[in-house]
Amino acid sequence: MKQFLSAHDVSDIKALVQRALEHKAAPQANKDFGAGKRIGLLFLNPSMRTRLSTQVAAQNLGMEAIVFNIGSEGWALEFEDGAIMNGTTVEHVKDAAPIMGNYFDILAIRTFPSLKNREEDYSERYIQQFVKYAGIPVVSLESATLHPLQSLTDVITITENWNKAHGPWTMDHGQKKPKVVLTWAPHVKALPQCVANSFAQWINAWGEAEFVITHPEGYELDEQFTRGATIIHNQDEALKDADFVYVKNWSSYQQYGQVLNNDPSWMLTLEKLKSTNDAKVMHCLPVRRNLELSDEVLDSSHSIVTQEAANRVWAAQAVLEAILKEGK
């Protein structure tokens, strides 16, 4: 693997999921693989799970991980080509990224969208500038439009739970595919579309689920990610017979970055789960309780959000190992 910015960087998702589950079974079995290698984790935005899980994953491989909260502690970066830097920015990414490329073997970056300029956000300008100028493999820790480490984790978590309930995957023998439903949830703030875009991209690329997306009208995601999924605006209809329900808020893509609807009836409850196939409930976290997801669901046996967050380590470990392997 040369970089990890989206599902398109992975040639075989099922093999990567399998490798992650092997790491889970034996976390330090490959503990010298990354000896002498260093990863830089750059955060332009806050994080808990992504930061800690990637550090643990790197350490499990024997790598050194250095965290830099560049957004709050670094020089303000300029991304505009040809900018006359007489404003608030202090250092151009053209100058900063190659230096990081010398300090590290892998550069991992979190950079959220502005939610003001759709064209700019969807061009992934910030992370692409690091790819262009760093000269080393870049891993997304969540970018303007995608969150691939989260989505790989989500596929791992679905695989693990489905296998536990039904035995190892035997799709070739006509076994039922799990019904996976991505449902929009209310929120008070305008959130990026990244997690939802990325989940849709990965579930589609994985190809092992009956995939349904449900949201109020006006919350349609970019079709480049959702193509192949069934989109239903009636949440009750969408949830019927679901095996996995993935809950997430996102702001509007069409009326870019706006909150169009905060209808509390979209919050998932135990009552709504009655029509499902005793569905497992997922969320990337952090979650706003009793706004996005009710206490009764999060505290019930339906919820696998802690297992999902714990699996972030194995996703990161499989990705870092695959990138290091490419360089050997």
**Which residues of the chain form contacts with ligand CP (CB under 6 A)?**
47-50, 142, 150, 284-285
Could you tell me if 28 and 57 are in contact, meaning their C-beta atoms sit under 8 angstroms apart? no
Q: Is 19 annotated as a binding residue?
A: no
C-beta closer to ligand CP: residue 100 or 305: 305
CB of residue 139 to ligand CP, shortest distance in Å: 13
Cβ-based nearer residue to ligand CP, 213 or 284: 284
Distances (CA, A) of 317 to 8, 194, 207, 252, 304: 18, 22, 23, 33, 21
Q: Is 270 within any annotated ligand binding site?
A: no
Q: CA–CA distance from 278 to each of 55, 74, 179, 246, 270 (Å)?
A: 34, 47, 11, 14, 10
Q: Which is nearer to ligand CP, 143 or 235 (CB)?
A: 143
Q: How many CB atoms lie within 10 A of CB 74?
A: 15
Q: Whole-number minimum distance, CB 327 to ligand CP, in Å?
A: 26
- Distance of closest approach, residue 142 Cβ to ligand CP, in angstroms: 6
Q: Where are the alpha helices (DSSP H) in the chain?
A: 13-25, 49-60, 70-73, 93-103, 118-122, 125-134, 148-166, 194-206, 223-226, 235-239, 270-273, 295-298, 305-310, 312-327
Residue nearest to ligand CP (CB): 50
* Residues in a beta bridge with 140: 109
250 neighbors 191 (Cβ within 8 angstroms): yes
Identity of the residue, 18 or 47, whose beta carbon is nearer to ligand CP in the bound complex: 47
Q: Is 38 annotated as a binding residue?
A: no
Residue 110 marked ligand-binding: yes
- Nearest approach in angstroms of CB 87 to ligand CP is 29
Annotated ligand binding at 75? The verdict is: yes
Q: Which is nearer to ligand CP, 48 or 76 (CB)?
A: 48
Annotated binding site for carbamoyl phosphate: 47-50, 75, 110, 147-150, 284-285, 312
**What residue numbers does the annotated binding site for N(2)-succinyl-L-ornithine cover?**
142, 187, 248, 288
